[in-house]
Chain A
Amino acid sequence: MHVIARRLTIVALLSLGIIGSWPVVVASAEETLEAENIPFSFEGAFGLFDRAQLQRGFQVYSQVCSSCHSLNLLHYRNLGDRGGPDFPEMQVKAIAAMVEVEDGPNDEGEMFTRPGAPSDPFVKPFPNEKAARAANGGALPPDLSLITKAREGWRGTFRQLVDGIGGPEYVHAVLTGYREKPENVPEGPAGKYYNPYFSAGPWISMPPPLSDGLVEYTDGTASSVDQMARDVAAFLAWAGEPKMERRKSLGFRVLVYIVILATLLFLTKNRVWSRIEH
């Protein structure tokens, strides 16, 4: 009797798991595609950012994306942070000095411009939302500081537990996902591009931003569209979670500590409880 009840419970639990992992069918699911999983260096419990990749990614951001997309949560000094692109201090200063920053008011009450300093936040491409929309056919290019944490490359409760939400993969998929629209898809709005990986897609206002050889990498890496998309996705993953390396290394030490403490407590508990009948 109990054996049957227990087996039934196990069967029920398993079937709950199966229906729980059934993919959610959203209205737009037939029009948009899941991103391709990319084995980034920063995945897994011990994965770290690839410094060279982050530096290349910054190059893509600053030469291509930054003309429309802001990165409001970053300061130039962050480019020299450990656990990030780790640019040398002189280079950070040089990068910051390349932009003009509005400052003031000065003692005369006037605003003025000066060369950027590492303590400045990344300059915005547009002064306000209206200006951004006006320059982009009514569409607003989103801030990219948290884009890899705010967008999902794929769905599924268990898939996301194992593979993460696929935020960097989403960025890569959108950047490389432009194509001719299939025959059966109706014509989209004027001035929009077909991209089945775009989350609110498949029609996206952003024209294909990358083309082979667009950026000349200082480290000599061949700049294919795929390579640039991977690099900038990695850079944005760091921009969204700049303390990731610190988090993982501290986490490892905390877990080692917890395991030792748990072992000692378990032994103590057995010792203490052996004094009494239980």
Chain B
Amino acid sequence: MNGIFFAILGAAIATVLAGIGSAKGVGSAAQTAMGVLSEDSSMFGKMLVLTLLPGTQGLYGFIVGFLILVSSGLLGGSADVTLAQGIAYAGASLAIGFGGLFSGIAQGKAAVSGIAMTAKDEKNFSKGMVSVTLVEIYALLAFIVSLLVVIQIPNMAI
């Protein structure tokens, strides 16, 4: 038995869970932003920035998923994965999967507040934006962990 199933599972976990986090985050931010835009459509640019901030988790998850597919050889390779390697891919994906899921939702909440603050006074935009990116670091750390492990797996003697 080889580890293809687990490698695919890993790619799916990374992409789906982080994607859910971003989707929820961007979704709630977009709802609020549209409320603001219905009052004052000139703030579209600022609202767009704040709305898109929780979107990076999904990208990170997607990249880890993609790298798993590439490094396991599923895309244009021999797909020669041992069982232990497959399980390792699945394990590596958990970091960005769950990190992305929860940080995406949390960042979405922060973005909602940032949007409300910017709506009150446009000068608050940069402060809001920076505060929202504070959440990002945790998604980033999760991403780096997943990434470093995924890249190492083909070289591991397992």
Q: Are these two chains actual partners, yes or no?
A: no
* B residues lining the A interface (CB < 8 Å): none
